[in-house]
Amino acid sequence: MNAVHPLFSPVPSPTEVSVPPFAVVPGRQVKQVLDGEETTVKGIVESAYQLHAEGRTVNPASTFLRFPDRSTARIIALPASLSGASRVDGLKWISSFPANVRSGIPRASAVLILNDPVTGYPFACMESSVISAVRTAASAASAADWLSRGRPRATRVGFIGTGLIARYIHTYLRGTGWSFTDIGVHDRSAESAAGFRTYLEQSGAEGRITVHTDPGQLVRASDLVVFATVAATPHITDPSWFEHHPVVLHISLRDLAPEILLSGTNIVDDPDHCLRAETSPHLTERLTGNRDFVHGTLADVMSGRVPVPSDRTAIFSPFGLGVLDLAVGKYVYDRLAGSGELAVVDDFFDELSRYG
């Protein structure tokens, strides 16, 4: 599914419009559809990026709900609209409560609402933590692929941050053709690092697995570096760690000091979205007073408009676009609808007669 979706179909006439049935899609069904579909989902995400670059999406700025009594917690709303064959509107509502980890439950939880673009009625509520992780991992795998072209393919990968997102990124790298002779692991939590190592061993990952206590040692030993932390401010500040010019997937967005970004080739998903909310690119813009350090978007790289030189560190910093969640969510919905497995809530909508 690498081709860009065709233009959206005409809006039906008023006589053809009806209220869609409403379905609830639990996480079990989401995983059932997406497991083993890494190549397909990567293509879906790349198509969504291309549609976005062509101006055929609507992707407003995310809205952050923060709490004065819970400074580390937040809930984010990502509204979006996607054209193409999978035309759909919707909203991702995703929370991040880092304190959950101490209780043994995941930091993030999410739902995705899909809206009918003709009537505006919501037609699905989907568990979306897996959808969010999958679209993030597919985006990372795509960036690893495109930013590596023109340089030797990485055989040594390092993960800084070892939670759910790191696990999915590893799965998507393997599922889209990557293999590694060495896998480095670092996390401020020794327990998390050990757990990720166990996951790697149980997944059958090839190559030597090394847990690093020093993140600098991991970076220097890796051709491909994945940042998937919950860092709120930059904690990687030494540009000399990157003198071997690796490909860096800066997924968590707030790990790298501006000096590191200024020494590399910076690719983002969308500059207006990425350069806000105290991200590393946002701090770099504040420092320099301009956006000249941003060389282009991943869609620019895919189209050949922006080259990625091999003699500079290549850094991908994606803010995370709601249109990606819609694209993956609609794929899951369509697969379940086609197989007759949707759990429809009868009579979810009431008062459907305008005049009673």
How much is the pLDDT for 341?
97
11 in any annotated domain: no
Question: What domain count does the chain have?
Answer: 2
Which one-letter DSSP state was computed for residue 195?
A: H
pLDDT (0 to 100) of residue 1:
35
Kindly list the averaged pLDDT for each block of 10 residues, start to end, along the chain of length 356.
38 70 97 98 98 97 94 95 93 94 90 97 97 97 97 97 96 97 97 96 95 98 97 97 98 98 98 96 98 98 97 97 98 97 94 80
CATH number of residue 29's parent domain: 3.30.1780.10
- Dist CA 201 CA 106 (whole Å): 21
User: What CATH number is attached to the domain comprising 228?
Assistant: 3.40.50.720
Q: How far apart are CA 222 and CA 242, in angstroms?
A: 10
**b/e 45-59 (16+ beta carbons within 10 angstroms → b):** bbbbbbbbbeebbeb
Q: What is the pLDDT of residue 352?
A: 84
Q: Quick one: 113 and 150 in the same domain? A: no
149 in a structural domain: yes
pLDDT of residue 2: 39
Residues 160 and 298 in one domain: yes
Answer yes or no: pTM beyond 0.75: yes
- Torsion sign (Cα): 273, 325, 23, 352: positive
Integer angstrom CA distances of residue 46 from 83, 198, 274, 339: 14, 31, 18, 25
N-term to C-term CA, the chain: 45
The pLDDT of residue 192 is 94
Residue 267 lies in a domain: yes
Residues forming a β-bridge with 23: 124, 344
Quote the radius of gyration of the chain (alpha carbons, Å): 21
| Domain containing residue 340 | 20-131+322-345
